[in-house]
Homo-oligomer: A and B are copies of this chain.
Amino acid sequence: MAKDKLPTQAENFSEWYNQLVLKAELADYAPVRGCMVVRPYGWTLWENMQAGLDRRFKETGHVNAAFPTLIPMSFFEKEKDHVEGFSPELAVVTHGGGQELEEKLAVRPTSETIIGYMYSKWVQSWRDLPILINQWGSVMRWELRTKLFLRTAEFYWQEGHTAHATADEAMEETYQMLDVYADFAETDCAIPVVKGRKSETERFAGAQMTTGIESMMGDTKALQSGTSHYFGQNFAKAFEIDFLNKDNELEHAYTTSWGMSTRMIGALIMVHGDDQGLKMPPKIAPIQVVIVPIFRKDHEKEMVMPVVDKVFAELKEAGVRVKVDDREQTSPGFKFNDWEMRGVPLRLEIGPKDVEKGSVAMARRDIPGRDGKTFVSQEGLLATVQEMLDTIQTSMFEAAKKFRDDNIHDPADYEALKEVVQKGWAFSWWCESAECEAKVKEDTKATTRVIPLDQPEDEGNCIVCGSKAATKVYFAKAY
């Protein structure tokens, strides 16, 4: 159980996070080591995220399907890097229906292998390409050091898997889905991101190129929240996804995969949250507006509740996700704190004086205290609320972006880099050698996070070894 009062972020960011997730009833620890239960408030948030992503997937021509949860162990052996990356993390089914199985099955850690197998059955000619399939579900990667939403054995995600006739088309798809993730993160979640390539060391097992989006959390650490991989012909060779091209020659297809998970909820909490609790961006908030009726006596209640009901009905009718907190044995002050902690973007208070004046008190979650509170007319309230929700969405993005930009540093030398990555990100020239990357990690615990797609036109010297460098990269500690 969560304690009554959260630690502040400054006191203990990690404990602030752990307790807030429980207290806001986003998730709970499961009785299976390393696993989580996503509670209704957290799952509704995920459903809203799913809707935002799924719409974008379908607009870019993708369809959903479902592949089995269990994968024959031999499938992992077919791609050398993939098996190295995933076999230490597998949960293995050895018995079914009371019998020992002839071939052991893994609970899927990711589905490139079994989907590759199916694509090889479905693809014969260039006419069968591209295949643009996404799957929503959960995956299992054995992990005992749990941090809810960020690191659990089972987590929820989507995994897109596409097959194409040409390398160019597959590469285009890889970048397109990176753009989809970035747009979703920035537009819907109000989380500013850097798009870029990962270093060789940080690549997905079996990929020729991994791209991702990277964001800065409230403690200045980095978090990767969506990745898009280009496999070239690696998986097509391993699983014989072959097709007759227009010249009637047999060719291997080119494949990609891309995923975003419930980690994004962790990012949301850590980018926007403050000492009072969560701050939900209006576009994906499970509850966008909470109405708190204010009264002491019965005759006040009789005045207030009809207005509360009318406002509720008007907002709900228009599609606003609105809730009335009509708990009787709870004080308004308790309710204010409770909904602030749960991050509801906008609170409306309606008391006897408001009824008399035809007004409503409106309090923004993103601006605490009196500065965020105004009195607005009941007339035209729907439009006022909708505008305010847009304003909050924008201002949450701007605040997160300012915080991030303020904490990105351009260290003059390696000594300065070692210092700045303790309290922010360093954006520095790098020679792209694994040695320099490893040295930074050993000296500072910071890693190369992402090589932005937009690079400066000039050149510089590697911040570590001083040799000529054509690439700037973000170094940061990361979740």
Contacts and interface: CB of A to CB of B under 8 A. Distances in A.
A30 B93 contact: no
Interface in A113-127: 114, 117-118, 121-122
B30 A43 contact: no
Contacts of A153: 96
A43 B64 contact: yes
B138 A97 contact: no
A113 B142 CA distance: 22
Given A37-B118, A69-B140, A107-B70, A64 B47 contact: yes
A239 B161 CA distance: 41
Q: Is the interface of A mostly helix, strand, loop or mixed?
A: mixed
A92 interface: yes
A202 to B, nearest CB: 21
Contacts of A93: 91-94, 107
A54 to B, nearest CB: 9
Given A40-B63, A40-B65, A114-B31, A96 B88 contact: no
A179 to B, nearest CB: 23
Contacts of A46: 66
Contacts of A121: 28
A63 B286 CA distance: 11
A166 interface: no
A38 interface: yes
A316 interface: no
A95 B31 CA distance: 17
Contacts of A122: 28
B66 A96 contact: no
A43 to B, nearest CB: 5
Interface string A74-108: 01000000000001111111111110000001010
A39 interface: yes
Given A35-B70, A65-B39, A98 B88 contact: yes
Interface centre among A44, A75, A91, A118 (most CB of B within 10 A): A91
A71 interface: yes
A51 to B, nearest CB: 11
Given A37-B118, A107-B107, A118-B37, A30 B67 contact: yes
Contacts of A242: none
A156 interface: yes
A72 interface: yes
Given A70-B107, A133-B40, A142 B32 contact: no
A137 B156 CA distance: 11
A154 interface: yes
A380 interface: no
A404 B142 CA distance: 51
Given A30-B114, A70-B35, A114-B30, A64 B44 contact: yes
Given A31-B72, A40-B63, A70-B32, A97 B107 contact: no
A324 to B, nearest CB: 15
A97 B91 CA distance: 6
Nearest to A113: B31
A96 B92 CA distance: 6
Interface in A18-75: 28, 30-32, 35-40, 42-44, 46-47, 63-72, 75
A303 to B, nearest CB: 27
A36 B154 contact: no
Given A91-B93, A95-B94, A121-B28, A43 B65 contact: yes
A27 to B, nearest CB: 9
19 contacts: A28-B118, A31-B117, A32-B71, A32-B105, A32-B114, A37-B67, A40-B133, A42-B65, A44-B63, A44-B64, A70-B91, A88-B97, A88-B98, A89-B97, A90-B98, A91-B96, A94-B94, A96-B153, A97-B142
